[in-house]
Structure 1
Amino acid sequence: MKLKIDGFILAIISIIIIAYFFPYWGTDKSNIPINTISTIGVSLIFFFYGLKLNPSKLKAGLKNWKLHLLIQLSTFLIFPLLILFLYPFIKTQEQETIWLAFFFLAALPSTVSSSVVMVSIAKGNIPAAIFNASISGIIGIAITPLWMGLFINNTQTDFDFTSIYTKLIIQIILPVILGLFLQRFLGHYAQKHNKKLTLFDKAVILLIIYKSFAKSFDEHIFNSVSFWDLTLLLTGVLLLFFCAFFITGFLAKKLQFNYEDKITAQFCGTKKSLVHGTVFSKILFGNIASIGIILLPLMLFHAIQLLIISMVATRKSH
């Protein structure tokens, strides 16, 4: 089986390399208003997200409630509990930062596009995949900051729920609501130009990643991260993915799901959204120097989930 390397993963690697050699543009000393540009970009991402949401399809998808419950529990409960189990073993400040990065990954919602595409390839329940991937992003706006608020207070980051949710409402919720309101007028436009809008989403994500890593490189945060540390990070990400994958598969079997629903549960319940992760990191963590390290497990997970799930989907399609 021939594996195709995802172009977006290559773009992420390239933007990190650029941030390493040219960090100045992403620092507070630069005259380029990257922070303002990315803030506007984030709002536009979720405005287009609202335009593409189909309320009638979401309403019709409510019927298969056991499948939906399993996927959302996997996304927002099983994942965080798997990381919470390791919290008592933290001994140093560096370990706490790495743990927080993994917990942030675990608390994120599922991703939309790749979940639906992979479920389609594997001949799973496509309407359920669309419903869960879409609703997960909405639930995550409320749940992810609540999970993170339990632990960010223990770090150097100032975490104010009022400020956090005000930013979430202004930058995310209001644009989604506006998009939903204008869907009857512009929804067809969003669907017609979906590929272009996806490219726009990715461009904004790359901009946020660049700024995050540029700041970390400029302040030499990665000097303390060795090759051995990166190997451990990759191992941790793999273990997290496979634990969630097998737990959702086991529970789907116990609930006597058919083939289509089991595939959907495993594919949607093990995905984490890079879009929400980069956006939420900007809002939740602000401009802390270690933001690059916070995003590292998420980007490794993004690459791994695409690689493994695409392999599984291709095998099950035959």
Structure 2
Amino acid sequence: MGWGRWRPDNFTLSLLATVALASLWPCRGEAARAFDLITDAAIALLFFLHGAKLPRAAIMQGMKHWRLHLCVFASTFVLFPLLGLALRPLGHALLTPELYLGVLFVCMLPSTVQSSIAFTSIAGGNVAAAVVSASMSNLLGIVLTPLLVGLLLASHGGGPSWHGVLYIVLQLLLPFVLGHVARRWIGGLVDRHKPLLGLTDQGTILLVVYSAFSAAVVGGLWRDTPLSALLATLAICALLLALVMPTLTWVARRLGFRREDEIAIVFCGSKKSMASGIPMARVLFAGHLGGLGALVLPLMIFHQLQLLVCAVVARRYAAQGLQPALEDSREAD
């Protein structure tokens, strides 16, 4: 078992390098304001390209698996937020207020797209359903995540006003809608250059992380956040996964879903999107820039943890799927 198996991917290393850069050389003053404008423009471009990427036919096709998608959406936008609220006493006891706010924000985010599809494929699940479910989750998340933030966080003294939420929804949704409308003209170009969209995703995340951590470091993030709170954040993120994944497995089996559909439900319903989450945090918590670094830290931790856990679960599903085939082969011999 070599180091290569456990070595972080290049994007994770880039994230860590960006956090280190912001910690050592944070952006300040006029440079920080100019950086903020560039970041806002990158976020608008990101949502525009995501709108251009999503085929309308995929949305229509997805309606055929409405029970599966309903399970995924219920997990993403109902189960996770309820668990986040249920963990409030633990979060307040072990975390700083910003870190708990970040954990609660993680619980309100849509599912990932790329990794949900990849792990569903590895495990031998319903890839087509995973594509549609994860894509629709991100589409709904543009509206539902800000609304959940307004409903849950504002009631706990941590979120933006309803007026701000409405403005945010329009700010995020408008580029997405314009991109989707423009798909008839630029859709082919976007489809041919999907790696460029991936670079836009990652580049925007790195911009937001650098800006957020710069403001947080200037505000005393590392001075005011104890190591025990960071370890507790890791433990709470692990607890969320430990609660959600077995629950989804149990629900899928109780509702009589096929094994392939169960796999899609488990992987799409247990993920949270960093690609959407960090840009959304930048817009949703524009008035909390001094604490934004701590707010996105739980999302970065959860993202890495979900990749590690889901890789193990996907391999286990794949091994279970191979077992009946091996038995049939032996019987045929």
Aligned mate of 1:15, from 12, 18, 27: 18
- Within 5 A, what are the aligned runs for 1:128-277? 128-153=129-154, 159-170=160-171, 172-277=172-277
- Within 5 A, what are the aligned runs for 1:268-287? 268-287=268-287
Work out the CA distance in 2 between the residues paired with 1:30 and 1:48.
Answer: 27
| Aligned match of 2:328 | none
The residue matched to 1:153 in structure 2 has which SS?
Answer: helix
The code of the aligned residue for 2:214 comes to A
The code of the aligned residue for 2:176 comes to V
More deviation in 92-101 or 144-153?
Answer: 92-101
Work out the CA distance in 2 between the residues paired with 1:70 and 1:168.
Answer: 24
More deviation in 115-124 or 160-169?
Answer: 160-169
CA, structure 1 residues 185+234, in 2 after alignment: closer, same or farther (shift >3 Å)? same
Aligned residues of 1:124 and 1:263 also touching (Cα < 8 A) = yes
Work out the CA distance in 2 between the residues paired with 1:226 and 1:106.
Answer: 23
CA, structure 1 residues 87+235, in 2 after alignment: closer, same or farther (shift >3 Å)? closer
Aligned residues of 2:168 and 2:283 also touching (Cα < 8 A) = yes
Work out the CA distance in 2 between the residues paired with 1:160 and 1:32.
Answer: 23
| Aligned match of 1:306 | 307
Report the CA distance between 1:93 and its aligned residue: 11
Report the CA distance between 1:88 and its aligned residue: 4.8
The code of the aligned residue for 1:246 comes to P
Report the CA distance between 1:155 and its aligned residue: 6.7
The code of the aligned residue for 2:20 comes to I
Work out the CA distance in 1 between the residues paired with 2:241 and 2:248.
Answer: 11
Deviations 1:52-82 (A, max 9, x none): 1011122112111111110000001111111
| Aligned match of 1:84 | 85
CA, structure 1 residues 12+120, in 2 after alignment: closer, same or farther (shift >3 Å)? same
More deviation in 113-122 or 86-95?
Answer: 86-95
More deviation in 220-229 or 231-240?
Answer: 220-229
CA, structure 1 residues 158+18, in 2 after alignment: closer, same or farther (shift >3 Å)? same
Work out the CA distance in 1 between the residues paired with 2:147 and 2:199.
Answer: 30
Report the CA distance between 1:154 and its aligned residue: 5.8
Identity percentage over the alignment?
Answer: 32
Aligned residues of 1:70 and 1:265 also touching (Cα < 8 A) = yes
Aligned residues of 2:149 and 2:159 also touching (Cα < 8 A) = no
Report the CA distance between 1:5 and its aligned residue: 2.3
More deviation in 220-229 or 44-53?
Answer: 220-229
Work out the CA distance in 2 between the residues paired with 1:20 and 1:5.
Answer: 20
| Aligned match of 2:124 | 123
The residue matched to 2:31 in structure 1 has which SS?
Answer: coil
Q: What TM-score do the two structures reach when normalised by structure 1?
A: 0.92
* Alignment: residue pair count: 315
The code of the aligned residue for 2:14 comes to A
Aligned residues of 1:51 and 1:190 also touching (Cα < 8 A) = yes
Deviations 1:152-185 (A, max 9, x none): 4367767222233223313x21222122212122
CA, structure 1 residues 91+123, in 2 after alignment: closer, same or farther (shift >3 Å)? closer
User: Considering only CA atoms, is the larger Rg found in Structure 1 or Structure 2?
Assistant: 2
Report the CA distance between 1:189 and its aligned residue: 1.1
Unaligned runs of 5+ in 1: none
Q: What TM-score do the two structures reach when normalised by structure 2?
A: 0.88
| Aligned match of 2:98 | 97
Work out the CA distance in 2 between the residues paired with 1:216 and 1:113.
Answer: 29
Unaligned runs of 5+ in 2: 320-333
The code of the aligned residue for 2:77 comes to F
The residue matched to 1:253 in structure 2 has which SS?
Answer: helix
Please report the RMSD computed on the Cα atoms of aligned residues, expressed in angstroms.
2.1
Work out the CA distance in 1 between the residues paired with 2:227 and 2:89.
Answer: 25
CA, structure 1 residues 253+158, in 2 after alignment: closer, same or farther (shift >3 Å)? closer
More deviation in 80-89 or 68-77?
Answer: 80-89
